[in-house]
Amino acid sequence: MNVISSKDNEIVKSVKKLKEKKYRDLENAYIVEGIKMVREAIEEKALIRQIIICDDCEKSDSIPKELMYEIAKYDCTYVTSKVFKYISEVQTPQGVLAVIEKNNGDLDINYNEDIIVALDDIQDPGNLGTILRTVDSVGLTQILVSKGTADCYNPKVVRSSMGAIYRVKVIECEDLLETLKEIKKNKFKILVTSLGDSKNIYDMKYNKKVLVIGNEANGVEERIMNIADEKIKIPMLGRTESLNAAVATGIVLYEYVRQKLGK
């Protein structure tokens, strides 16, 4: 078995480049790292191009044997611990990562779902990953993101999505406003989160709605505000005026779940 020990190896350099968005876009691929994420990629039948394994970790049995049996079915490359740390995104790597093809083959919007979440320039990778995880947790299978939203395949987003990145279709909109106008033609109503004169989220019926979550600092842009059918807000009893974007998304989506279970 050949073990790569040089950082200048072409395979190592190509994996390292995937830390940058321009190369992820160019290669149409991204990295997932760690035992749980790689196992879930296999279970979810993600399009795995390659698996990189730390030779020392494999020898020490830190990667479960049953997972190694599954990993062996793919194109595997072994590297030294020094090289693995070089390409790893985490401080204490578990010794396994995979290069995954992006799940962006089908970009058609599914109009059969009750609610569609759209993100207007969300910037924080942690927020974005948590929103993906929340969308997945309520049984939705797609999310719309504006061109200015953080990259959904950023390693921090992928980690915080906790596997949702495999199951939720990410639809990047060249112009979110125009996409929303098109959705309205399909009998969906646009809901925007707003701190101003807005309806209580608990007074809304969440069927055939698009929930637009705005930028952390500036909220939903004015052009989208102008085409919204309803403006909604989360009632707060304390002195805090606004909530984290991911928290706000979770609160609204679980009101949708409450109503759905109530039926």
Q: Averaged in consecutive runs of 10 residues, what is the pLDDT profile of the chain (263 residues)?
A: 90 95 95 95 95 81 88 94 93 93 84 96 95 97 96 94 94 96 96 84 94 92 95 89 91 96 83
Domain 3-101 and domain 115-262 have a common topology: no
Instruction: For domain 115-262, give the CATH number.
Output: 3.40.1280.10
Give the pLDDT confidence score for residue 106 in this predicted structure.
76
Give the pLDDT confidence score for residue 170 in this predicted structure.
95
CA distance 176 to 194: 18
Nearest to 113 by CA among 186, 182, 194: 186
* In the chain, domain spans: 3-101, 115-262
Please give the CATH superfamily to which domain 3-101 belongs. Answer: Ribosomal protein L30/S12 (3.30.1330.30)
Give the pLDDT confidence score for residue 142 in this predicted structure.
96
Give the pLDDT confidence score for residue 57 in this predicted structure.
74
Give the pLDDT confidence score for residue 2 in this predicted structure.
84
Give the pLDDT confidence score for residue 236 in this predicted structure.
87
CA distance 243 to 77: 44
pTM over 0.85: yes
CA distance 132 to 166: 10
Give the pLDDT confidence score for residue 59 in this predicted structure.
64
Give the pLDDT confidence score for residue 167 in this predicted structure.
94
Give the pLDDT confidence score for residue 241 in this predicted structure.
79
